[in-house]
Chains A and B, each alone.
Chain A
Amino acid sequence: MLNRYPLWKYLLILLVLVVGLIYSLPNLYQADPAVQISSARSEAPLSEQRLAQIQSALDEAGISVSATDVADDGVLIRLAEADDQLAARELIGDILDDDDYVIAINLAESTPQWLQSFAASPMTLGLDLRGGVHFLLEVDMDAAVEQRLEVNASAMREMLRGERIRYRNTEIDGRDLTLTFINDEDRDRARTLISREFPDFDYSNQGDGRGASLVMTMTDQAVNELQDYAVNQNLTTLRNRVDELGVAEPMVQRQGPDRIVVELPGVQDTAAAKRVVGATANLEFRLEARPDTPDNEIETFSFRNDESRTADLMRDVILTGDSVSNANRSFDENGRPQVNINLDGTGGTLMNRATRTNIGRNMAVLFIEHNTRTTTVIEDGEEVEVREPYTERGLISLATIQSALGNSFRITGLDSPTEAADLALLLRSGSLAAPIYFVQERTIGPSLGQDNIDRGVTSIMVGLALVVLFMLVRYKVFGVIANIALTINLTLLVAAMSMLGATLTLPGIAGMVLTLGMAVDANVLIFERIREELRGGLSVQQAIHAGYERAFTSIIDANITTLLVAVILFSIGTGPVKGFAVTLSLGIMTSMFTALLVTRAMVNLTYGGKPVKKIWI
């Protein structure tokens, strides 16, 4: 019998439609503006009193709260008005005035319980739709290599001193580390000694006699490993820092060999975000040089707050900020900002060993910041950007060691409470393994986001209405079928995107609109073919059958080629282009499904197996 589907096919289609409906539904529930309070340390959950205090303060300020969800990891306060979000956060911040809580503005899902039990959730909105900042950071590999070489040089010097081999100078240039000796024998001994411990270098001798030097070049493999290590380490650090910033649903991701994307939805204060994300500050603890210390073991630094004051320090570092396990800002007896520091086990031992034997000497805290300066120069008639990394080192304190220090102590000498808080945060979250700099930045205000959503929705509605009208006029009864299919298509597309956790962006919406236009194509092909077969003198049932059958190859070929393009688009594209590609490819798949199966099922149900003389097409 022509144009009849077996029951299982109808059931299958029905199943897909039900699933599609369930997973697209959450998108109808608008997210609530909310303020999220989570404790930075898990042992300090928000007490009942504090919560009551917050609620009365919000009431007083005339901010209406629609719901308060208390969960293990924090409290979510849903607000009635989006405009109140910032004010509410400030109020709550005043009440919880310490480092123990992270307060973030957020958009909270309002999917009903029964839908959540299917694990259905709405599409995530992209930054262009909800506002926020997007950073693209690049890891400065040259600087990372230089840092690694400096660390190695320091260790090598220590080794040479231990073996009483005299060296004159160490020099770092690009990937080369050069040690100069007094004579050939010392150089040769040093080479045997060092090459055993440092396999990451290619060694070569240069000059002889008083100019005898050993050139060590980092191998390609070592550089690659360093790059991987540096990027991964930076990812971890950045995640920690972003968590400290208190942003809901942040994203920190590696992109390509040496780049990192950071997206902070809802953040408007870019300056603060950048200060924390991009900061490359670290600390070094060193002893002050003795008057009899040889010159090549001394480095001179000036104070951060007074350039003219300088101090001679030992070249060797006792420990760096990497050994810090916890840090907090507080104030000393005179109300000056200070940072309380706790060291990890090894750090504590190192500090103890260094201070125990040096009571009465001065210890310096050195603040180090890696920065890049970008200048534009004209080269071959073209403007070329030249990036020049530089490192600022400044003393923040120089204090006499009164007694052996252990795991915890405090440092003073900071300029402002903000600086103290930032430094504490940076020490807590860990330092960056290599300096990073910003290569791309986008800030999207919340008003633009709402605007984009409104416009996107309007254009989808209008586009849909126009297509529906067109199909009705042109294909009559079959137009109704095509229009139902189009609605189903849109539902399935939204469901698929929600299920995959795809992010909806503005180009994504454009992709949806475009899909709508092209989705009718398959139906048009089929319907035109049916008309043609009818004109050719086939009976109604035969014409419908032949129409679907013959349009099939065209539809498949045409859609597969478009799908190929969409997949390529996805693999080469970044950000917005990717969003567009995802929507387009999903749209192609759902439209093939609806055109080939759903409309066929509807046509079969309407006409199949009945003695039809004439159809409205």
Chain B
Amino acid sequence: MRQFDFMGKRRLAFIVSAVLLLVSIGSLVVQQLNLGLDFTGGTLVEVRYATAPALDMVRQALESEGFRDVSVQTFGASNEILIRLQQDFDPDVGQQVVSLLRGDGAEVELIRAEFVGAQVGEQLRDQSGMGMLVALGIVMLYVAFRFQYKFAIGALLALVHDVIIVVGVFSLFQLDFDLTVLAALLAVIGYSLNDTIVVYDRIRETIRKSRIDDMPAIFNEAINMTLSRTLATSGTTLLVLIALLLLGGDMIHYFSIALIIGVVVGTFSSIYVAAALLLMVKLQRQDLIPAKKEDPEEEGEEQLP
């Protein structure tokens, strides 16, 4: 079987990662995220016309009735319209908008109306940030406990890397960042971690078995051995995600996009961030020796023919 020299290319990979991170952070600083209604608060009304209307007409009709800061766009089909009203909430705004639009004799059906108070959005923002930090912290502890602290650092940085890049892409292209995207982001953490752990597990095993001390070579061997698994799993996951993106409808559109980016970046980072970082923190065989005594299953494995 062909062996790829993954570790030999790590400098190039670092440059790629660094560029991606810089662009992401730059974009986050300059134009922030296009936060969805869940986080900013505001009012949103989705309606369906029998026949596609002219967006300008809809906007004018609304503005002439005193709705301020109206944003009108099509959503999915050309006859489905999404209307956003910033911070201008009135109890029955959904019905008001519908009856207003019906005023010119058009057939209009209310699909959904949402209102989120500004304060709720703000709390959600804080809560999500907090949740993300807690998730990362606990995962790091688990990895430090099951492997070794150097692995924990590598895994953590890989996760941070993935999260920043996914969020960065959403910022760069100003995609809607809503609650489902947040869920996707957390799923990305789960997925990328899964991937990293599999690679780490193999690296640990290979280090214990091998007689040489050439870490890059050991890493290469381990990564090559998990490569077909990595590709198969990413492949199947991407297959379903693409199905979700194409068929799942508009409400989970951005969810799918976030996960697709996340799976690709997560697979890359398991090899080039998580594993390559172990070289930078100078992982040595000795780091894993004390752990060996505490691990009875591992002993059992060694006895196999």
Contacts and interface: CB of A to CB of B under 8 A. Distances in A.
B243 A463 contact: yes
Contacts of B248: 455-456, 459, 510, 513
A459 B243 CA distance: 6
Contacts of A516: 240
Given A507-B252, A572-B134, A463 B244 contact: yes
Nearest to B95: A271
Given A463-B239, A510-B252, A577-B179, A442 B232 contact: no
How large, as a class, is the contact surface on chain A? 35 or more
Interface in A532-564: 532, 535, 538, 542, 546, 549-550, 552-554, 557-562, 564
A441 B114 contact: yes
A514 B92 contact: no
A303 B187 CA distance: 59
Nearest to A521: B233
Contact of B116 (A383, A440, A542): A440
A444 interface: yes
A466 B244 contact: no
Nearest to A446: B111
B198 to A, nearest CB: 5
Nearest to A574: B124
Contact of A271 (B91, B246, B247): B91
B139 A451 contact: no
A516 B241 CA distance: 10
A290 interface: no
Contacts of A573: 131, 183
B163 to A, nearest CB: 12
B20 interface: no
Interface of chain A, main secondary structure:
helix
B115 A459 contact: no
B32 interface: no
B201 A554 contact: yes
B119 A521 contact: no
Contact of B91 (A438, A518, A532, A574): A438
B243 A462 contact: yes
B34 interface: no
Contacts of A456: 248-249
Nearest to A520: B236
Interface stretch (B57-65, B189-197, B210-218): B189-197
Interface string A250-287: 00000000000000000000110010001000000000
Given A456-B248, A549-B304, A270 B113 contact: yes
Contacts of B251: 128, 452, 506
Taking each of A456, A514, A524, A550, which has the highest tally of chain B beta carbons within 10 Å of its own beta carbon? A514
A447 interface: yes
A445 B117 contact: no
Contacts of A470: 232, 235-236, 239
Interface residues of B, number: 80
B257 interface: no
A385 B205 CA distance: 58
Contacts, number: 231
A561 B197 contact: yes
Interface in A416-451: 438-445, 447-448, 451
Contact of A576 (B1, B183, B298, B304): B183
Given A550-B301, A558-B197, A572 B143 contact: no
A582 to B, nearest CB: 11
Contacts of B238: 517
A558 B198 contact: yes
A506 B202 CA distance: 36
A507 to B, nearest CB: 6
B197 A557 contact: yes
Contacts of B139: 561, 564-565
A553 B143 contact: no
A445 B233 contact: no
Contacts of B3: none
B194 A559 contact: yes
B244 A459 contact: yes
A562 B113 contact: no
Contacts of B135: 564-565, 568-569
A452 B247 CA distance: 10
Q: What are the 4 A-B residue pairs with the smallest beta carbon separation, nearest first?
A: A572-B131, A463-B240, A439-B117, A517-B237
Interface of B: 1, 41, 46, 48, 87, 89, 91-92, 94-95, 109-120, 124, 127-128, 130-131, 134-135, 138-139, 142-143, 146, 179-180, 182-183, 186-187, 189-191, 193-195, 197-198, 201-202, 205, 225-226, 228-229, 232-233, 235-241, 243-244, 246-249, 251-252, 255-256, 259, 297-298, 301, 304-305
30 contacts: A136-B117, A270-B95, A376-B87, A385-B41, A385-B119, A439-B116, A442-B112, A443-B112, A445-B109, A445-B112, A447-B111, A455-B248, A459-B248, A467-B236, A470-B235, A507-B183, A513-B248, A514-B237, A549-B301, A561-B142, A564-B135, A565-B186, A565-B187, A565-B190, A569-B186, A572-B134, A577-B186, A580-B183, A581-B183, A584-B187
Interface of A: 128, 136, 138, 270-271, 274, 278, 374, 376, 383, 385, 438-445, 447-448, 451-452, 455-456, 458-459, 462-464, 466-467, 470-471, 474, 506-507, 510-511, 513-514, 516-518, 520-521, 524-525, 528, 532, 535, 538, 542, 546, 549-550, 552-554, 557-562, 564-566, 568-569, 571-577, 580-581, 584
